[in-house]
Amino acid sequence: MVRFWRLSDRRSNLSHAGRWLAAAVLSAAMLAPATASTAVAQDGGAQAVVIGYLARHEDPRTPASFLEPVATDEGLQGARLALADNTTTGMFLNQSYRLVEQVLPADGDIGAGLKALADEGVRFVVADLPADALLSAADRPEARSMLLFNARAPDDALRNEQCRPNILHTAASRRMLADALAQYLAWKKWTGWSLLIGRNPGDALYAEAIRRAAKRFGGRIVAETTWTFDTGNRRTDTGITTIQSDIPLATQGPDYEVLIVADEIGDFGDYLDGRTWRPRPVAGTQGLTATGWSRVNEQWGGTQLQSRFEKLAGRWMTARDYAAWLAVRSVGEAAARTGGTGFDDLAAYLRSPDFELAGFKGEALSFRAWDGQMRQPILIAGPRMLVSVSPQEGFLHPVTPLDTLGDDAPETKCRPNR
């Protein structure tokens, strides 16, 4: 079922800061030439940019603690907040925005969902999909005249051997996350790592990214262990006893300075802190984490973004929400800066060196020409506080330190037009 999300009736709720920002954008946009508005709708006289959101329904992940809410709408709420932000600016530029939502059943046909979006005039699509479904969407005939934003899949292959010319990535890759963590550990001179790997496919891919990061930034992996235990029910006496006895056994071995855990879906990683064989910090997918976004970020106006998101969604913003927010905001920023709404002009501007997006992380964000990945700072976050932000000071690059995270131009295996 196609759903529409509009925010044209929210103009009276604009904050003074929002009005000031929109006015500033207006002043800049007035200097930009108007562009053709092909493949866009008219909305009350305004040029309407239509953006699609494509996802499949999933049962929500059961959180490890009651302190973490169950999120049934990750990604979607980030797109909706970005639509509101775009509308705030667009009202001054005679531009409006419409979000067409296609949330398919768990076994829904990706091709049918993409066609439904195409029938609504959508050419920009926020794809909140795992890697296999994303590739299926990108290879559909309808997608040849679309630009898809990967707002979820961290798979490095999507930025390399399996890259596509019609995909930009707002979700951080596993290599970006691993490099960001490795830089911080190198800055701390914590170079001896023990790697504990879960049994899911994503855990093996994350571990591969950690090994690569160790070679790049001077880490030493002194031991690798696969998690083979059943955590049981932690909310029973026997469950707690089992966890307390199993984790020390799983974390023995050669001495190390940091235990790095690869547990992307949260099977066991949250139980490690305070239960390891040695009194060592836990990092990786749990503990000290490298992430595109975290609720603990209060820097660079992050509190303002967090507050607006919580008011809209009733919960904290996740990294998946943030990636969807970046995708929709990227389209809005391109429209504001160019003064136009035509697909070809906006798509070209998004890929150009002139494109920059403020992402509440201290530096302007942009897309890499070689693989479509959005370059961005990566937060190093603890459970309650922001610890650091990578790239770390001292890691230099001839163009931008942001390109020390993930695949740089000389390293890429992306050949999108082959």
pLDDT digits (tens, 9 = 90+) for 247-267: 998 899 999 999 999 999 999
Give this prediction's pTM: 0.87
The one-character DSSP state at 373 is: B
d(CA 124, CA 55): 14
pLDDT, tens digit (0-9, with 9 covering 90-100), for 34-82: 333 334 555 555 678 999 999 999 887 776 666 677 788 999 999 999 9
For the four alpha carbons of 158, 164, 165 and 166, in that order, the dihedral sign comes to negative
Cα 388 from Cα 374, distance rounded (Å): 20
- Asked whether the predicted pLDDT for residue 392 surpasses 80, the reply is yes
DSSP percent split of the chain into helix, strand, coil, nearest 5: 40, 20, 40
Give the domains, in start order, of the chain with CATH numbers.
2-172+294-376 (3.40.50.2300), 175-291 (3.40.50.2300)
Question: Which range has the worst mean pLDDT, 114-118, 155-159, 273-277?
Answer: 273-277
pLDDT band of residue 297 (cuts 50, 70, 90) is: very high
Least confident of 61-65, 88-92, 238-242: 238-242
Percentage of the chain surpassing pLDDT 70?
84
For residue 242, what is the DSSP state?
H
